[in-house]
């Protein structure tokens, strides 16, 4: 196991599909969101505020949460499903929301290097 991953910065574009977490020693962990065919997956508008709270914490684990309640159907036949990333640090657990917009048949997921701390 390498040195502790102390979070020095988080780069994220609301409604975008990538988050980069930077450690104090310069290491970077990229989390990318993907949508299945005919869909778009993106971070929730509130995600930027949530990630700012974890600066200075030691990153311990990241997990993709199950689909969250709150499925919305819009008049133009689009369906938004809600998901979250669970970021566990030495001081707190954070739930970073992301969404998938599709016609209702497709979903989204998050991918990152699962061996980020080895």
Answer yes or no: is pLDDT of 62 > 70: yes
Q: Are 82 and 52 in contact (CB under 8 A)?
A: no
Query: pTM (2 decimals)?
Result: 0.83
Q: Are 75 and 92 in contact (CB under 8 A)?
A: no
Q: pLDDT tens for residues 29-61?
A: 999 999 888 888 888 777 766 777 889 999 999
The alpha carbon of residue 5 and the mean position of all alpha carbons in its chain are separated, in whole angstroms, by 17
Answer yes or no: is pLDDT of 102 > 70: yes
- Nearest to 18, CA basis, from 88, 118, 111: 111
């Amino acid at each position: 196991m390498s040195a502790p991953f102390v979070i020095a910065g988080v780069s994220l574009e609301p409604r975008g599909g990538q988050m980069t977490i930077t450690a104090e020693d310069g290491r970077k962990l990229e989390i990318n969101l993907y949508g299945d065919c005919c869909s778009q997956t993106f971070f929730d508008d509130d995600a930027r505020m949530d990630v700012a709270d974890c600066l200075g914490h030691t990153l311990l684990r990241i997990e993709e949460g199950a689909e969250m309640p709150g499925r919305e159907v819009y008049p133009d036949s689009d369906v938004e499903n809600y998901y979250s990333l669970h970021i566990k640090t030495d001081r707190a657990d954070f739930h970073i929301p992301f969404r998938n917009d599709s016609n209702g048949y497709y979903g989204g997921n998050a991918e990152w290097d699962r061996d980020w701390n080895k």
